Amino acid sequence: MPSHGPTTIPSVDDMTTQLPDTVHVVSHTRYGPPADLGQRMATMPAPADDQVVLRVRAAGINRGDALAVEGLPYAARLSYGLPRPKRPVPGTDVAGTVVAVGPGVTGWRHGDAVVGWADGAFASYAAASQASLLAKPDAVSFEEAAATPSAGVTALQALRAGGIDTARRVLVIGASGGVGSFAVQLAKAYRTEVTAVCSTRNVELVRSFGADHVVDYLTQDLTTCTGHDLVVDLVGHLPLLHARRLATPGGRYVVVGGGTARSVTGMRRFAAATLLSPFVSQRLRPLFATPKRTDLATVLSLLASGQVHSAIEAAYALRDAADAIEFVGLGKARGRVVLVP
């Protein structure tokens, strides 16, 4: 007969931690709108050789999570799983406390506060590879930490792909969202002159990120905002033939967003950037961001120093995950949204 009492899992320092047998998770059993997500109790994850188990203190929600819930774009289901999701619990960005470690783990101890990427982060407990985690800075809250991994790393990689080390004038299109809020702040940390594009209701918010100039695309003509060494486009509303002129000749235009999710591949704009780049004076670069621990460390150090902050619009309880994911999927979030189990 299965035990219904607490589970004892050895930790790296030979202490024992009493953990529940079951944990609260967001359940993803079929593709569809976030409203189709369920809530259930699942078996407490056991760490593999190189894994730790975290008590999740906060989990960040990305637009990619919303797309994965719906199985978009459709070709991505080859990775997500066919005919149904192969990951029964969504979410990756996480901050929490180590409660158990696998036998091969050497870098973490019971009680360590960490941040990074986990498998099935939308839960009260989750397993993560020891190599996907970093120590949470003391000056950074769990919510701020969880809001950082994917958005912060994507923003940093976009700026680096655009040659931020030599850029003087940077334009960020879509500056009020999760990645955009980091892109503006990181570009300022590189001591560049930043112009940020957003809607009317977000102008003051984007100014608070440190932007030198803010363009309200609802009242101003974005095509007049030329002369930038680096453009980071997180929206993709302007056709690339016109949008590229926002960058100077020889400047770089980094395509991060703007693909049509409800399509076979969602890659049309990325492919267009690659095909067009050899024939125009600007260098068009599609960005495919990847989780990279060293890049996360860079962003976390700036968070700890106060040069950058995680702009969090809302923190939802785990039981309200469907509402939170739907909100993020609509693309209207101002900064970041997190779940708090």
Rounded to the nearest integer, the mean pLDDT of the chain is 93
Number of domains in the chain: 2
Identify the CA nearest to 61 among candidates 177, 170, 173, 232: 177
Per-residue pLDDT tens digits for 202-223: 999 999 999 999 999 999 999 9
pLDDT tier at 1, thresholds 50, 70, 90: very low
Residue 17, pLDDT score: 54
Q: How far apart (Å, rounded) are the C-alpha atoms in residues 181 and 156?
A: 11
Over 60: is that where the pLDDT of 12 sits? no
Sorted by sequence, the CB contacts under 8 Å of residue 82 that are 6+ apart come out as: none
| Residue 298 falls inside a structural domain | no
56 shares its domain with 161: no
Beta strands in 110-192 (DSSP E): 113-117, 125-129, 133-135, 169-173
Average pLDDT, stretch 52-75? 96
Mean pLDDT of 223-251: 96
Q: Clarify whether residues 13 and 138 are in a common domain.
A: yes
Same structural domain, 329 and 281: no
**266-278 confidence digits (pLDDT tens):** 889 999 999 999 9
Claim to verify: residue 144 and residue 68 sit in the same structural domain: yes
Percent of the chain with pLDDT over 90: 90
CB 315 within 8 A of CB 339: yes
In a domain, 305, yes or no: no
Residue 134 belongs to a domain: yes
Output DSSP code: residue 138: T
pLDDT band at 11 (very low <50, low <70, confident <90, very high): very low
Residue 3 has pLDDT above 60, yes or no: no
pLDDT at 106: 95
Q: Does residue 296 lie in a domain region?
A: no
- pLDDT digits 0-9 by tens, 278-334: 999 999 999 999 999 999 999 999 999 999 999 999 999 999 999 999 999 999 899
Tell me how far apart the alpha carbons of residues 32 and 71 are, in angstroms, rounded to a whole number. 7
Strand order in the sheet with 283-286: 213-216, 193-198, 169-173, 228-233, 247-255, 283-286
From 252, 270, 286, give the residue that closes a domain.
286
What CA–CA distance (Å, rounded) separates 118 from 93?
6
Q: Is the pLDDT of residue 34 over 60?
A: yes
Q: Are residues 164 and 119 in the same domain?
A: no
Note whether 118 and 27 are same-domain residues: yes
The domain that contains 154 carries what CATH number? 3.40.50.720
- On the CB side of 54, how many CA atoms lie within 13 Å of its CA? 37
Does a structural domain hold residue 297?
no
Which of 270, 286, 302 is the C-terminal boundary of a domain? Answer: 286
pLDDT surpasses 50 at 168: yes
Residue 315 has what pLDDT? 98
Domain CATH for 21: 3.90.180.10
pLDDT at position 8: 38
Domain ranges, residue 315: 7-148+310-340
From residue 293, how far is each of 69, 150, 197, 244 by CA, in Å?
A: 25, 11, 29, 31
Residue 293 lies inside a defined structural domain of this protein? no
Tell me, yes or no, whether 129 and 167 share the same domain: no
CA distance 16 to 151: 35
Residue 59 is inside which H or E element, if any?
strand 51-61
Determine, yes or no, domain membership for 93.
yes
